[in-house]
Amino acid sequence: NLQVLLRRRPQGAPVPEDFEIVERAAPEPAEGEVLVRAAYLSLDPYMRGRMSEAKSYAKPVALGAVMEGRTAGTVVASKAPGFAPGDVVAGGSGWQRFSCVKAAGLIKVDPAEAPLSANLGVLGMPGLTAWVGLEDIGQPQSGEVMVVSAASGAVGQVVGQIGRIRGCKVIGIAGGERKCRYVTEELGFDACIDHRGDLAAQLDRHCPEGIDVYWENVGGVVQAAVFPRLRDFARMVMCGVIAQYNVAEGSDSFGGAPGPNLGAVVRKRLRIQGFIVSDNGWPRYPQFRREMLGWMGDGRLRWREDVVEGLRNAPQAFIGLLEGKNFGKLVVKID
C-alpha cells in the first residue's frame, strides 16, 4: 500500500521533507468496514491545519501517521452490509492507495451521473461547502451584489455560479489573468478582479453600489479591501482564510493593510459568520447532490479540475495549493 505520512510539522509553508512516502502491506477490513482502492485523492487547504498542533476544530494528524484526506474509488472487499466489491464510492480515507473505512462514512455513487473525480469536488466536500454556506449564511437574493474570493477554486467556482443562478451580480477575485478569464468566460461571472492588481480601485469600478454578500476564502489583504465596501445588512460568509494558513500566529497577516474595523458591523448591521461544512452539511448531502446534478445536467453549473498524476506527487501539489499554483479543484490521480 503506497502511503504519504506526516514526518514533521511544518514551520510556515510546508516543504517536501515534512512528508514521507512509504510502501506497506494493504490493510484487511474489520467487521463493519470496507476496503477501498482509491482512484483519486482530494487535496484541500484544511490539510494545512491538520499538519499543525495549533488548537482547531479537528485533531491534528499524528507524526508518522497517514495524511488525512478523502478519496474516491472502488470497493475491493467488504465486511459491511450494503457494500460489495466493484461498488464505486466516495469517502475513502487518507493519502494512500488502499484504506479501510466504516460503511457510515462512505457514499455509494452512480458512475453514470458524473466522472468519478467530480465526487471530490463539485459533488464532494467543496461543492457541499459552497451550497451549505450560501443556504445558511450568504442567502443571496436576486439583484444583490456578491463577491467571491479564490473564485476559480474548488469552493469559489460553485459559490459564484450558484450566485448567478440566484440572480446576483457576481464578481470573482482570483490570481492572474488566466484564472480571471476562465471565471468570466467559462463560469459566467459578471467580472473577475486580479488580486495582484489594485484591489480597491477594481472593487470600486465593478461594485460602485457596494457588496451584499462576501464569500471569504482568502483573508489578509483581500479581506481588508472588501470589508469597507460591504453595504448595510451585508453577509460575510467566513469559509476560509487561506492566505493566513502559513503565517505564524501573531505576525501581520494583512500585509500592512489595516484589518477590518468592527465598528462597521454595528453601523451597517453586518452579519459575519464562520462555519465548518462537517457541522451540519453531510445530512443534507442527498438534497445538495440532487440540486447540483440538475444544474450540471442543464449546463448551468460547470467545473474545472486540476489533476496531478501519481500519489508520489501529492506533497508537491499540496504545497502548490497554498501558493495558488492549482487551477480548479486539485485532485491526485492515483496510478
Binding footprint of ligand NDP on the chain (CB under 6 A): 44-46, 126, 129, 150, 152-156, 174-175, 179, 195, 217-218, 239-240, 242-243, 275-277, 321-324, 326, 329-330
> In Å, how far are 43, 148, 168, 222 from 189, measured between CA atoms?
25, 10, 10, 18
C-alpha–C-alpha distance, residues 107 and 24, integer Å: 26
C-alpha cell at 246: 502559513
Residue 333 CB neighbour total at 10 angstroms: 17
Name the β-bridge partners of 45. none
Rounded least distance, CB 252 to ligand NDP, Å: 14
Q: Which is nearer to ligand NDP, 164 or 195 (CB)?
A: 195
E strands, the chain, are 2-6, 19-23, 33-42, 70-78, 88-93, 98-102, 107-108, 145-149, 169-174, 191-194, 211-216, 230-238, 271-274, 305-309, 329-333
Q: Which is nearer to ligand NDP, 118 or 322 (CB)?
A: 322
CA dihedral 162, 163, 165, 169 (to 10 degrees): -160
> In Å, how far are 60, 166, 284 from 129, measured between CA atoms?
21, 17, 11
C-alpha cell at 30: 474489520
Rounded least distance, CB 112 to ligand NDP, Å: 26
C-alpha–C-alpha distance, residues 290 and 297, integer Å: 10
C-alpha cell at 203: 472593487
Rounded least distance, CB 327 to ligand NDP, Å: 7
Q: Which is nearer to ligand NDP, 29 or 156 (CB)?
A: 156
Coil, strand or helix: which one is 288? helix
Rounded least distance, CB 4 to ligand NDP, Å: 18
Rounded least distance, CB 189 to ligand NDP, Å: 13
Query: Which residue in the block uniquely carries the three cell numbers 464505486?
Result: 88
Q: Which is nearer to ligand NDP, 101 or 239 (CB)?
A: 239
Q: Which is nearer to ligand NDP, 20 or 136 (CB)?
A: 136
Rounded least distance, CB 33 to ligand NDP, Å: 26
- The residue nearest ligand NDP at its CB is 153
Contacts of 113 (CB under 8 A, 6+ apart): 293
Q: Which is nearer to ligand NDP, 29 or 133 (CB)?
A: 133
Rounded least distance, CB 91 to ligand NDP, Å: 16
Rounded least distance, CB 320 to ligand NDP, Å: 9
Q: Which is nearer to ligand NDP, 35 or 322 (CB)?
A: 322
Rounded least distance, CB 195 to ligand NDP, Å: 6
Contacts of 278 (CB under 8 A, 6+ apart): none
Q: What length is written for the chain?
A: 335
Q: Which is nearer to ligand NDP, 91 or 240 (CB)?
A: 240
C-alpha–C-alpha distance, residues 16 and 318, integer Å: 10
Q: Which is nearer to ligand NDP, 94 or 324 (CB)?
A: 324
